[in-house]
């Protein structure tokens, strides 16, 4: 519970800093301390995205959210700052593809379980789901689940852990979805912490609360990552 509380505290601090900075800029604007040429850039939605991205990048352990926000905001900021005359809007999708590729590679290199992962399959202790322009459903039956990665770009997946059991200790699922989504069905007696950041998307925790089970000690699942222009749903069945 301490890590979850720390994460929520950091999120509130980031949001508070953003409000303070934005309020200070509004005061300077109303006092005419900011030239009109700069107002056009500072009080624009690309700058809003870039500013939020910078706060997330320097204020959180997971830099992915900040990288995505700064990349998207930067694509639209550069023409405004340098007054480019060519069709700069045509750069949006190429830059987005580059960002997606960098994030996918970065997350793969950050994960420490790749070298230890056994043969792929529904009974594997680890998962490594990659769905691009497609998707599917899978039932996970392992009795020693240790976590893994889920990447969905223009696609989606549903993973059902109803018949699975967690390994002892902290097990992490790293989620990254862009223009897609994922659904995770987890047992009601698992201790699950959701630490997923949403960018123009949504994270829905629809687990059914019950009172007739005992959470196993020393076992927990942390679902973390980034959802951009997509969704992530966590639910359970009684």
User: What tens digit of pLDDT does each residue of 181-221 get?
Assistant: 899 999 888 888 888 888 777 888 887 766 665 556 678 89
- Residue 1 — pLDDT band, cuts 50, 70, 90? very low
- CB 191 within 8 Å of CB 138: no
Average pLDDT of every residue of the chain? 77
Question: Are 127 and 202 members of one domain?
Answer: yes
Question: Are 96 and 130 members of one domain?
Answer: no
Give the separation between CA 226 and CA 212, rounded to whole angstroms: 33
Domains held by the chain: number: 2
Q: Which of these three, 82, 109, 136, is where a domain ends?
A: 109
Q: Note the pTM of the prediction, 2 decimals.
A: 0.61
Give the separation between CA 89 and CA 53, rounded to whole angstroms: 20
Domain that holds residue 190: 117-235
Question: Are 131 and 101 members of one domain?
Answer: no
Q: Which of these three, 109, 142, 176, is where a domain ends?
A: 109
Question: Are 97 and 125 members of one domain?
Answer: no
Share of the chain above pLDDT 90, in %: 6
> Exposed, middle or buried, 193 (CB in 10 Å: 0-12/13-18/19+)?
middle
Q: Residue 73's pLDDT is what?
A: 82
- Residue 3 — pLDDT band, cuts 50, 70, 90? very low
Question: Are 129 and 226 members of one domain?
Answer: yes
Q: What is the DSSP string of the chain?
A: -HHHHHHHHHHHHHHHHHHHHHHHHHHHHHTT-S-HHHHHHHTSHHHHHHHHHHHHHHH-S--HHHHHHHHHHHHHHHHHHHT--S-GGGGHHHHHHHHHHHHHHHHHHH-S-GGG--S-STT-SEEEEEEES-EEEEE---SSB-EEEEEEES-EEEEE-TT--BPSEEEEEEEEEES-EEEEE--TTS-EEEEEEEESSEEEEEPPP-SS--PPTTEEEEEEEEEESSEEEEE---
Q: Which of these three, 42, 76, 109, is where a domain ends?
A: 109
Question: Are 178 and 210 members of one domain?
Answer: yes
Question: Are 12 and 97 members of one domain?
Answer: yes
Question: Are 124 and 190 members of one domain?
Answer: yes
Question: Are 152 and 105 members of one domain?
Answer: no
What is the phi/psi pair of residue 3, to 5°? Answer: -65, -40
Q: Which of 204, 202, 205, 194 is nearest to 229 (CA)?
A: 202
């Amino acid at each position: 519970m301490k890590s979850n509380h720390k994460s929520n505290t950091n999120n509130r601090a980031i949001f508070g800093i953003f409000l303070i900075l934005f309020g200070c800029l509004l005061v300077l604007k109303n006092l005419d301390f900011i030239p009109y040429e700069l107002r056009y850039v500072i009080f624009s939605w690309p700058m809003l995205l870039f500013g939020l991205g910078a706060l997330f990048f320097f204020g959180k352990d997971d830099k992915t959210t900040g990288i995505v926000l700064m990349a998207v905001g930067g694509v639209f900021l550069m023409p405004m700052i340098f007054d480019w005359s060519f069709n700069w809007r045509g750069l949006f999708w190429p830059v987005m593809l580059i960002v997606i590729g960098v994030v996918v590679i970065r997350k793969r290199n950050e994960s420490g379980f790749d070298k230890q992962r056994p043969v792929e399959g529904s009974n594997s202790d680890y998962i490594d789901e990659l769905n691009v322009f497609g998707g599917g459903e899978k039932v996970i039956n392992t009795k020693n689940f240790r976590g893994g990665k889920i990447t969905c770009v223009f696609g989606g997946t549903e993973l059902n852990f109803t018949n699975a059991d967690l390994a002892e200790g902290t097990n992490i699922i790293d989620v990254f979805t862009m223009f897609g989504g994922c659904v995770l069905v987890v047992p009601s007696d698992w201790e699950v912490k959701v630490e997923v950041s949403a960018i123009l998307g949504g994270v829905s925790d629809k687990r059914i609360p019950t009172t007739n089970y005992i959470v196993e000690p020393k076992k927990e699942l942390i679902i973390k990552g980034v959802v951009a222009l997509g969704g992530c749903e966590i639910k359970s069945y009684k």
